[in-house]
Amino acid sequence: MKTFVIALLSGVLAAGAVSAATVTNKDGETAVLVVVEGESRMEVAISSGATEMICPSGCFVTTPSGDRIGLQGDENVEIVNGSAIVK
Amino acid sequence: MRFVGKLLAVSVCLLSLAGAGAVVAQTAKPAQTTTQPAQTPAQAPAQTNNQPAQGTQPAQGGAQPAQSTQPAADGKAQPAPNGQQPAGGTAQPAQNAASPTQDAAQANDATIAADAGQSQTAEQLATAGKELKRLKELVGKASDDDIALAELKVQVDAVAKQIISTSIATRPRLDEIKARLTELGDPPGEGQPPEADIVTAERKRLLAERGEINALTGEAESLSVQATKLSNGITATRRALFSNTLLKNTDVSFEMFDEALTATINETKVLSRSTMSWLTFVWNYKRVPLLTALFLSICAALVFLVGSNRLFSPYIHHDKSDEEPSYFRRLSVAFWSTFIPTISMGAFALSSFFFMHSFNVLRSDITPIIAIALAVTVVGFFVTTLANAVLSPSDSRWRLVRVSDRGANVLLITIFAMALVNGLDFLFGGISESLGSPVVLTVVKSFIASVVIGLIIIASAWIKPTLKKDEPFDAPGRPWPRIVSIGLILTGASLIIAAAAGYVGLSRFIATQIIITGAILVMMYIGFLTGKAVSRQGAFAETAAGRYLERRYKLEQVGLDQVGLVAGLSIYALVALFFIPLILLQWGFQVADIESWTYRAVTEIKIGTITISLMGIMAGILFFILGYIVTRWVQRWIDGNIMARSRVDAGVRNSIRTGIGYVGVGLACLIGLSAAGIDLSNLALVAGALSLGVGFGLQNIVSNFVSGLILLVERPFKVGDWIVSGTTEGFVKRISVRATEIETFQHQSIMMPNSLLINASVGNWTHRNKLGRSEIAVTVTYASEPRRIMDLLAEIAGAHPMVLKNPSPTVGFTAFGEDRMTFELRIYVADVLTGGGVRNDLRVAIYERFRDEGIGAPFPLKIEDVPVEDQTGIESHEPETVGEPKGATSADARAAAAKKEAASAAPLDEENEEEGGKRRASSRRSNPNR
């Protein structure tokens, strides 16, 4: 019983800890995001259907549609038709 | 009760702390609700001018936004929107005359609100930009002030965070615009019928607004980059500053000393002049404030000293009568006798400075000198007191380290000398700085101090403090172990060499660290040893606190040991919490650094991409505990107040109480988890994984759990019932999640899995009511009159108060024995649990009555014991009352009766002759009288 409870708790903790922003590309083609985090500006290519973790501590993202969004670092973002939907 | 109260108080405190944390976290988010009039020129009409040339197709969606270092107003050079621009969109013929004007009005409202939101965002960004500029200037000015830089870095980081949250606030509006644009659809292509003007206008307006938001976000982006750059720049400056101070090389030469000598003479003159003038001034004009300040500060220190002496007196003073104080006592005395006086001294220094400052006694040139003099005094006092406490040169019994009397004295003098030299170095350095003397003077002083300290350290290598195991303390002592003495010589030599090579700053830094960090480390070590000594088994009970707890709360040995363990661990934690920041401060870190580290450590620990917040987890645990306490309280309240008064059945009560317990703990779990910042939707994942586990190994546990719930709802038995299941029989003690505890009549506890109780048949003696039937078998010889016996038995049963009248007791003539008639008295009792006692009473009554009536023989020789298996199993076998026929005292009469019995039994008995004959023969054999 104890082991069971411990296993349950550790599973919950592992699953529940806050993580970086996840970006999922729902489009049929690779999406190229421009991520500005800290001092650096980098391009992140996310292939169709893939999920990437970006910017754990806040950043700005420019989506393929040209929109810019600010991210705090704990959001789930989906790329649909080249624009971002933040959940 | 008091304990619960305290617990509540503590949790309330923690809650408020956690709440404050949450507030801090939220303040970064800008308030969006205020609606301000649109002020920026960034409005739809103006937008059109900045559109790409009408009629030409602009670049497709891939066009990158312009690098946004320009201010907000420039933001209108927005990226090309995704869709296709209408070809000559302005020249749309009016169509759809019935266009929804309402929609337009609403859209207008929305535009105004959105513009207000954006202008607010723009304002916030402008403020942040200004703030950044201001901070940049401040950083430029404070490029050589480490403390200021550390604080500025915290501010810059806060601004960076705020910029991000400002831009996040625009996200909802952007989503709205995108949604509306999708609703409007693409503009009609060539050859398609043109669309209504109003639609075109709205699309244009929305696109413009979208561009505007993107421009604002771009601005935020560049500001954020600037902020990060500034923050990183500050870190780099601070690093350079640190290494510059430490590794600055000065050319050590005779000219320097010559110059320093002249400077010293000058400085002495200036110092004496300014001190004298200050003293004269104070004495003449500020005599009363000075004396008041001194008096008040001495009062403050005295109050502190006397108070703590009162509280801790057994821990500060050596008890002369104690012949051999335990190690723990010595440790605690050493710790407290250093800690308390140092704190008092610090209080005196702080309060005297504070009072002199607030009474305007100090003059600007004197203030730093006084401050540094006070600080040096406190630190020197601390080091000396600590050395004195550890070495205890005058009383070897209280010495913490095993060194000889002579060695202790010499070591104390050495440490004092080093502290003195270092302190004087700092004092003179401070004086030179405040008097504006040339830098060379400070350098020379530090040089001399480092060399002197180096020499003292080298000299201390020749002290002979160590003792062999059995040597007395007044023995002459032996030299240090080789490694220690070599280490001392090397340290001293390296100090001198560093100073001679011109690295005076480094040398001075090391000298200071050796003294002060060494002292703090020794203090920490003592603290840790104290914690270790307290948590040792049985040690806590001997301390004053332990004795108090024992007296006050009547704690047992085990409880005291547990408290001791907790106390030991808390001492560890306190020591670490207090001294580690102290050492870090010593090494040149700033309070702001330590604060931000602590904050980060408490709020977010990153492991890869996963962030764990200690604060969140603590809050979660706290909420769970609170939920648990509330559940227990609700349980007790409902059970004790509502259900007890409304006379609810005990089984229902138990079920409801258990049910509330499950629900409450489940809720508390959920609340705790969400308070810990754990996304509950992730639990689905865990549940999925668990369901696999259920399929394999956990199915028994789950089936037992579900069975337990069914038992609670269906209630085939309740706590206290007398049940039989298979071979297990006993009273139900507890129905818990997995198993039911059954206590047998032998007081053996049996844990029966709930699923067994659901799947197998369970007999319950006390299900609906406790009414039960009980039987007593009575055998008499054939000499008796059966009807008379039956009447007698019924009468005896009816006379017993515990035997129920309805259903009334019955008597059955159950069998013709070989030479006995068997009767069975069946009685009903209200509580089956009392059956045993009633049967006992009845048997006694039957025996006595039969004897009195002459049915049973008064003598034991004619009484035969016929054991009857007790149907309840509650009692052990006991002798059955057997009535003897009346007048059966003579052998003849008995023989006649036997014949008669045989004769009468024969036709009635259905057994065959042969067996009857056998039985008769055997009974004759068994009865020698016959």
User: For residue range B722-733, what is the model confidence (pLDDT) as tens digits?
Assistant: 999 988 999 999
Mark yes or no for CB contact B682/A12 under 8 Å: yes
B67 part of contact set with chain A, CB < 8 Å: no
User: Quick one: B211 and B269 in the same domain?
Assistant: no
pLDDT value, residue B584:
86
CA separation for the pair A80, A31 (Å, rounded): 10
- Check whether residue B636 and residue B731 sit in a common domain: no
B61 touches chain A (CB under 8 A): yes
pLDDT at B418 over 80: yes
Q: Domain for residue B95, yes or no?
A: no
Whether residue B623 is predicted with pLDDT greater than 90 in this model: the reply is yes
| CB pair distance less than 8 Å for B221 and A60 | yes
| Average model confidence (pLDDT) across chain B | 76
**Amino acid, res. B586:** Q
B461: which residues sit within 8 A by CB, 6+ positions away?
Answer: B480, B484, B485, B486, B488, B489, B492
A39 and chain B in contact, CB less than 8 A: yes
Spatial distance between the Cα atoms of B175 and B663, rounded to a whole number of angstroms: 40
* In a shared domain, residues B823 and B867: yes
- Name the minimum distance, in Å, from the CA of A57 to any CA of chain B: 9
pLDDT at position B87, please?
A: 40
Are B227 and B156 in contact by the 8 Å Cβ rule? The answer is yes
β-strand A51-54 against A76-80: which pairing, if any? unpaired
- The total number of structural domains in chain B stands at 6
> DSSP characters for B521-547?
HHHHHHHHHHHHHHHSTTTGGGSHHHH
Q: How many angstroms from the chain centroid is the CA of residue B439?
A: 53
* CA-based nearest distance A55→chain B, Å: 9
pLDDT at A73 over 80: no
Predicted pLDDT of residue B334: 82
**pTM reported for the whole predicted model:** 0.52
pLDDT of B298 reads 84
Write the CATH number for A77: 2.60.40
Q: Which helix (H) or strand (E) holds B875?
A: none
B12/A78 Cα distance (integer angstroms): 40
| Lowest-pLDDT choice from A61-70, B233-242, B865-874 | B865-874
Same domain membership, residue B782 and residue B757: no
Instruction: State the pLDDT at residue B72.
Output: 39
Alpha-carbon gap, residue B902 to B917, rounded angstroms: 10
Q: Please, which pLDDT band fits residue A85 given cuts at 50, 70 and 90? A: confident
Number of domains chain A is built from: 1
Residue B320 in domain: no
Q: Which of B255-259, B517-521, B679-683, B786-790 is predicted least confidently?
A: B679-683
Flag whether B13 is in a domain.
no
**Could you tell me if B180 and B206 are in contact, meaning their C-beta atoms sit under 8 angstroms apart?**
yes
Same domain? B240 vs B218: yes
Residue B64 covered by a domain: no
Tell me which chain B residues have a C-beta less than 8 angstroms from the C-beta of A16. Answer: 673, 676-679, 682-683
User: Between chains, do A82 and B171 touch, taking CB under 8 Å as contact?
Assistant: no
Angle B504-535/B482-500 helices, nearest 10 degrees? Answer: 150
pLDDT at B411 over 60: yes
Q: From the candidates B84, B176, B178, B751, which should be mutated to test the interface with A, based on the most A CB atoms within 10 A?
A: B178
Cα dihedral sign for B204, B205, B211, B215?
positive
pLDDT of residue B21 exceeding 60, the answer is: no
Q: Which of B356, B238, B340, B224 is nearest to B286 (CA)?
A: B356
pLDDT in tens, B694-723: 777 778 888 898 898 888 888 888 888 899
- Range(s) of the domain holding residue A29: 19-86
Question: Is residue B317, in this structure, part of any structural domain at all?
Answer: no
Q: Which domain holds residue B752?
A: 692-768
Return the SS3 of B434.
helix
For residue B610, the model assigns a pLDDT of: 66
Instruction: State the Cα–Cα distance between residues B768 and B96, nearest whole angstrom.
Output: 80
**Are B63 and A66 inside 8 Å of each other by CB?**
yes
Q: In this model, does residue A65 exceed pLDDT 90?
A: no
CB contact under 8 Å between A70 and B217, yes or no, is: yes
User: Which residues on chain B are in Cβ contact (under 8 Å) with A71?
Assistant: 164, 168
User: What per-residue confidence (pLDDT) applies to B548?
Assistant: 82
Range with the largest mean pLDDT of B47-56, B242-251, B425-434: B425-434
Does B364 share its domain with B481?
Answer: yes
Q: B82 pLDDT exceeds 70?
A: no
| Whole-number Cα distances in Å, B856 to A41, B640, B789 | 112, 55, 11
Looking at the structure, tell me whether residues B665 and B627 fall in a common domain: yes
Q: Hey, are the CB atoms on B178 and A70 less than 8 Å from each other?
A: no
Task: Give the mean pLDDT of B75-103.
Answer: 41
**A28 occurs within a structural domain:** yes
For B294-307, the pLDDT digits (tens) are 888 888 888 887 88
More confident residue, B103 or B822: B822
* Residue entry with tokens 């909802």: B172
CATH number of residue B838's parent domain = 3.30.70.100
Q: Does B603 reach chain A within 8 Å, measured CB to CB?
A: no
- Mean pLDDT on B886-892: 41
Report the alpha-carbon distance of residue B74 to residue B212 in Å, rounded.
Answer: 9
Contact A65 B210 (CB under 8 A): no
| pLDDT confidence tier of residue B467, bands split at 50, 70 and 90 | confident
Task: Indicate whether B59 belongs to any domain.
Answer: no
- Which tokens hold the place of B57? 């197709």
B159 lies within 8 A of chain A by CB: no
Judge if B755 and B796 occupy the same domain. Answer: no
The verdict on residue B432 lying in a domain is: yes
Q: Spell out which residues of chain B touch residue A4, defining contact as CB-CB under 8 Å.
A: 698, 701
My answer on whether B707 and B828 are in the same domain is: no
* Residue B660 and residue B639 in one domain: yes
Band of residue B48 on the pLDDT scale cut at 50, 70, 90: very low
What's the mean pLDDT in B63-68?
A: 39
pLDDT tens per residue across span B900-930: 444 343 333 333 434 444 444 444 434 434 3
pLDDT bucket at B767, cuts 50 / 70 / 90: confident
- Tell me, yes or no, whether A58 lies in a domain: yes
- Overall average pLDDT of the B532-559 stretch: 80
Beta-carbon-side half-sphere exposure of residue B825 (alpha carbons within 13 Å): 28
**Distance of CA B621 to CAs A83, B7, B28, Å?**
40, 14, 26
Residue where a domain terminates, one of B579, B603, B627: B603
At B666, the pLDDT band (50, 70, 90 cuts) reads very high
Q: Which residue of B has its CA nearest to A68?
A: B214
The CATH number of the domain holding residue B757 is: 2.30.30.60
Residues B235 and B287 in one domain: no
**Is A8 contained in some domain?**
no
Name residues whose C-beta falls within 8 Å of residue B56's C-beta, 6 or more positions apart in sequence.
none
pLDDT at position B109 is 56
B477 and B564 co-located in one domain = no
Do the Cβ atoms of A36 and B221 come within 8 Å? yes
Say how far apart CA B245 and CA B248 lie, in whole Å.
Answer: 6
Between chain A and chain B, how many beta carbons pairs sit less than 8 Å apart? 126
Report for B258-272, B498-512, B619-633: range of highest mean pLDDT: B619-633
User: What mean pLDDT is predicted for residues B502-524?
Assistant: 84
Domain presence at residue B383: yes
Any A CB within 8 A of B682 CB: yes
Could you say which of B768, B793, B824 is where a domain stops?
Answer: B768
